[in-house]
Structure 1
Amino acid sequence: MIHGGDGGSDIATTLVDRGVVKSFDAFYALLLEATPEPVFQPGAYQLKTKMVASTALDALLVDGTRLRQTVVVPEGTAAVDVLQSISEGTDIPLTDVQAAAANVGSFGLPPEATTLEGFLFPATYTFSPGDTAQVVLQAMVDRQFEALDSAGVAVTDRWSTVVFASLIQREAGLAADYYKVSRVFLNRLEPARWQSGLLQSDATVAYGTGNTHLVTTTDAERGDAGNAYNTYVHPGMVVGPISNPGDLAIDAALNPLDGPWLFFVTVNLDTGETVFSTTVAEHDAAVVVWQNWMREHPEYG
C-alpha cells in the first residue's frame, strides 16, 4: 500500500519491508534523481519481489500495477491505519469507514471489545464496486474469526487470544522467535518467576500514546500511569489488542515454547537477530551488544 502523504522514504521503507527491493538507499537515490519528481497515487500495488530498484520505480508509475478495490493489511497493522488503507484502496470515503467502524456492536465481536482493534485480519482483500464500509469491515472481522476457529480457539477465548497475539505480533521479529516471545510474557505473568507482574512492553506503551508505528518509548511515557496500555505501570496482560495479528502470532499465543526466558532484545535490526535471556546479567550483556550495533548504524537512531 502507498498511503496519502507518504514521502519517498516511506515508500522506500515499504518496498524493503515487503521484499520488493533489497536496498533502501538505491531506491531512495533514484527518487531524488528523478526529473520530474515522481507522483504516486495512494492505493494497493502489485509488484514482484526482488526487483531492481529502477524497475520497481518504473512499475509503480505504470498504469495497471495499482489495483482497484484492493486493500493490503500487513500483520501488526493498527486499526487506525487499516481504516486509512480501506479508504485509499477502495472508493469509500474515510469518514464513512470511520463511522462504520465506530458501530462496534454491529460486527459480532466479543463483549469486551470497544473498537475493531485486533479483529481486522491481515491479508489482501479485493472488494466489489459499491461494497459499503460495513461490508468491507465485516469481511475482515469474519476472516479473523475464521483464523481463530482454524486455530481451535473457542468463541469464549477469542478476546484473550487476540489480545495476547496482538502483543506478540508487535514485539516479535523473526518467525521462530514468536514462540519464545510468547513464553517470555507468560513467564512474566508468573509471580514465582517475576514478582512485579509487569510485562514491560514498549509496544503497549507506544500504542497507548497513539504512536502505533513505534515500539520505542521515553522515560516519561513509561512512567505515565494515565496510559491504560502502559505495562510498565499496570500489571497483568495489556488491557486490549495493540495491533491486528495474523496466523503466526495466534499460533504462538496458543503454543509458546517451553523455556525460562524473562528478557529479550533484538541485537541486529537488519537481520532481526534476538537474544533471549534468563538473568538480568545476561540481558544487560545483550543490551550492550545492541547499543554497540546501534552506534555502528546511526541511520536507525
Structure 2
Amino acid sequence: MTEYGRGQGSEPWHPEDPLYGDGGWGGQQAHAGQQSPYGGRPQHYPEQPQQPQQPQQSHYGDWSDGGQSAYGQAQQQYGQYGGHQEQPYDQQQYAAQAQHQQQPYDGDDGWGGGAQPHVQYPADPSDPYGQQSAGYGAERPDFYGTPEAYPPPEPPGRRRTEPEPQRQDWDPGPDEGEHAFFAGGNADDRDDDADDGDGAGRGRGERRGRGGKPRKRRNGCACLVVCLVLGGGVAGVGYFGYQFYQDRFGAAPDYAGDGNGEQVTVTIPKGAGGWTIGQELKKKGVVKSVDAFVAAQQSNPRGKSIQDGVYTLQKEMSAESAVELLLSPESRSNLIIAEGKRNADIYQLIDKRLEVDKGTTAKVAETKWKSLGLPDWATNHENVKDPLEGFLYPSSYSAAKGQKPEDVLKQMVARATEKYEELGLEKKAESLGLEGPWQLLTVASLVQAEGTSHDDFRKMAEVVYNRLEPGNEQTNGMLEFDSTYNYIKNQSKLDLSLSELRNYDNPYNTYYTKGLPPGPISNPGEEALKGALDPTDGGWYYFISLDGRTSEFTKTNEDHQKLVDKWNASRNN
C-alpha cells in the first residue's frame, strides 16, 4: 500500500523536515498566523499513526520502486533548473537566502533593483523528497510558513503568469453602499487591493499600489471636468433645439428695406422656380434666406410670373422688395431678340452686350457653328449663307459682360430647337408638300419677312405654297419675294427695279431662281411659325402693302396690277 507523499519502504518522516511541517504534503494545512519553523526554534510534532490510503496515480513518477526513480528524476530536473550541484544542508544559510528573495519588483531592472542569481536550495539527506517541486500548474507550497514569503524566482525564460488571487474577505468600510466615484476611490483601488495578497493585516489607510507608490484619489478637478462636459452637452442640445424650432416654426431670416445701394447682376435660368431663384439671390447677397424669398413670392399674386433673364438688383434687399423688382421691367437687363431679326444684326447686339470687339460673335458663329447644338436636320445643306440663320430664336436672353459669345449662342440655338420640336416642324413638313423641317423653317422666315402684321401670316403662307405648286399658271414656280434679294444684299430696301431683281444671279434671289432659297432669311417668331404650319385656303397668289402696315391679297395678276398702280399713284402725289 502506497501513501500519498511517501514511497513504499521509505524512511518515516522527520519532524524537522520542512516539507512535512506546516503547509507541507504530509501534515495539516498551515494557518496564516503560524510561525515558520525556520523563523525561530523548530517545532516538534508527535508522530501520528499512519492511516492506510488508497493507491493514487501521481504525476511525480512511478512510486512502485520505492520512489527512487521519481526521486532521481526530480533531483536531476531540479539540478538542471537551478544550474548548481547539491550542497550540504545549512539551515541558517537557507533561511537567509529565503529572506533575501523578499524584494519588491521595482518595474525597472528586475527583482530588487537588479538581476538576481538563482537561489540554491541544498537537499536534506534525510528527506528523499526534498528535491521535488510542485507539478506544473499547481499551487506552490509555502516552504517558509511566513505570510510575507514568496517562492524563489524562476529564470525569465520559464516564468509563468500566476492567476490573480480572488478576494474573499473584502470589507467595504465606512463607505459601504456608495459608488466609488462619490466615495473618493477609483478603479485602481480595487486592483491594488487584489494585488496585496498578503496584506490582510494592513489597514485600508496603509494600502499602496504597485511599486510602493501611494494611490491616486479623485479630487474636485475631475468632478469639474465631468460637470463641464455635461454642461456643454446640455448647451449643445439647447442650441440645436432652438435652431430646429426656428427652422420649423420661426420666421425666416430677412433683410429690411430696398437694399444697401450696391448693385449686383443676377441671372435667372429658364424654368426656374421660387426655390432656385431664391438660391441665386442669396448667392449674390440680395436676400438673406431662401425661405424668406419663397414666402414673399407666394404671397405676391404675380409672383409666379417672374421670367428668366438678367436682372439688376441691390444687395441686402428684403424678400418682398426683391420680388417686386424682379416683376418690374426696369430691373431686366436681358438681351432682347426681336422677331424677324437677321443673324448679322444679332451678332452685333451680342458683341455690344458682352463688351467685346466688333465681329467677335460673328467669327465664333462662322467657326464653331457645328458645336452649338443644331439638330441633325439643320445641317448639310448646300449654298447656305449662315447655318445658324433661323436658330437665334426671338426671345429674352441672359447676356452680360464677362460671358462668352459661344455661351449666348448656345442659349439661342437651344431655345429655337426646343420651340421647333414643340410646334412639330419635323412631323408636319411632309403634309405641306415640303421636303423637311428645314424648308418649313425657310417658309416661316419668308412669312416673317414679308408680313406686316400677325393677322396676315396665314394668308402669306398660302401665297408661298400656291406659288411653289408645280405647273401653276400664275407664277410658274417663281416666288419673286423682294425680301430674299435684300437678304443676300444685306439690306432692307423697298424701291427695287425689276431689271435689278431679275438680273442678279444668286441662289437666294427668288426673282432669278425658282423655288425656295437655300435656307431661312431671318429668325421667325412663334406667330409666323404657326402661320406657316396652318395656312389659309383662299386661293391667294399675290399681296401688296399700300401703307407699310397691312397687306392686301389677290388671286389673279390682273387684280394685283390694279393695286400696284394705286400704290404708284400715291407715291407720285
| Normalised TM-score (structure 1) | 0.70
Residue 209 of structure 1, aligned match among 474, 489, 494: 489
Please give the residue correspondences for 1:211-290 in structure 2 after superposition, counting only pairs within 5 Å: 211=491, 213-269=492-548, 272-290=549-567
Residue 180 of structure 1, aligned match among 442, 459, 474: 459
Deviation at 1:292, TM superposition (A): 3.2
Cα separation, partners in 2 of 1:67 and 1:132, compared to 1, 3 Å: same
Tell me if the contact between 1:263 and 1:277 (Cα under 8 Å) persists in the aligned partners.
yes
CA offsets 1:137-196 (integer angstroms, 9 cap, x no match): 011111111221121122894322221111111000111101001001110011343452
Residue 161 of structure 1, aligned match among 440, 445, 453: 440
Tell me if the contact between 2:348 and 2:359 (Cα under 8 Å) persists in the aligned partners.
no
In 1, the alpha carbon distance for the partners of 2:359 and 2:475 equals 46
The 10-residue stretch of structure 1 (238-247 or 189-198) with the greater mean CA deviation from structure 2:
189-198
SS in structure 2 at match of 1:134: helix
Tell me if the contact between 1:263 and 1:278 (Cα under 8 Å) persists in the aligned partners.
yes
Matched, 1:78 2:357: no
Deviation at 1:90, TM superposition (A): 2.3
1:98 counterpart letter in structure 2: A
Deviation at 1:281, TM superposition (A): 1.4
Structure 1 moving runs of 4+ over 6 Å: 64-67
Deviation at 1:218, TM superposition (A): 3.0
Matched, 1:101 2:362: no
The 10-residue stretch of structure 1 (128-137 or 73-82) with the greater mean CA deviation from structure 2:
128-137
In 1, the alpha carbon distance for the partners of 2:568 and 2:352 equals 38
In 2, the alpha carbon distance for the partners of 1:234 and 1:223 equals 9
Q: List alignment gaps of at least 5 residues for structure 1.
A: 1-43, 45-63, 297-301
In 2, the alpha carbon distance for the partners of 1:196 and 1:87 equals 43
Query: Partner of 2:478 in structure 1?
Result: 198
Tell me if the contact between 1:120 and 1:140 (Cα under 8 Å) persists in the aligned partners.
yes
Q: List alignment gaps of at least 5 residues for structure 2.
A: 1-309, 311-328, 430-435
Query: Partner of 2:570 in structure 1?
Result: 293
CA offsets 1:37-66 (integer angstroms, 9 cap, x no match): xxxxxxx9xxxxxxxxxxxxxxxxxxx979
Cα separation, partners in 2 of 1:188 and 1:224, compared to 1, 3 Å: same
In 1, the alpha carbon distance for the partners of 2:347 and 2:453 equals 27
Report which of the two has the higher share of helix. 1
Query: Partner of 1:34 in structure 2?
Result: none
In 1, the alpha carbon distance for the partners of 2:471 and 2:373 equals 38
Please give the residue correspondences for 1:16-165 in structure 2 after superposition, counting only pairs within 5 Å: 68=333, 70-102=334-366, 103-109=368-374, 110-111=378-379, 112=381, 114-154=386-426, 157-165=436-444
In 2, the alpha carbon distance for the partners of 1:73 and 1:184 equals 27
Query: Partner of 1:36 in structure 2?
Result: none
SS in structure 2 at match of 1:276: strand
In 1, the alpha carbon distance for the partners of 2:442 and 2:494 equals 17
2:565 counterpart letter in structure 1: V
Deviation at 1:86, TM superposition (A): 0.7
Deviation at 1:127, TM superposition (A): 2.5
In 2, the alpha carbon distance for the partners of 1:215 and 1:165 equals 21
Question: Which has more radius of gyration?
Answer: 2
RMSD (Å), alpha carbons:
2.5
In 2, the alpha carbon distance for the partners of 1:163 and 1:216 equals 24
1:284 counterpart letter in structure 2: Q
Tell me if the contact between 2:457 and 2:531 (Cα under 8 Å) persists in the aligned partners.
yes
1:71 counterpart letter in structure 2: L
Cα separation, partners in 2 of 1:221 and 1:207, compared to 1, 3 Å: farther
Structure number with higher relative contact order (C-alpha < 8 Å, ≥ 6 residues apart): 1
Deviation at 1:225, TM superposition (A): 4.2
Deviation at 1:72, TM superposition (A): 1.9
CA offsets 1:76-118 (integer angstroms, 9 cap, x no match): 1111000001111223333321221112211232112643111
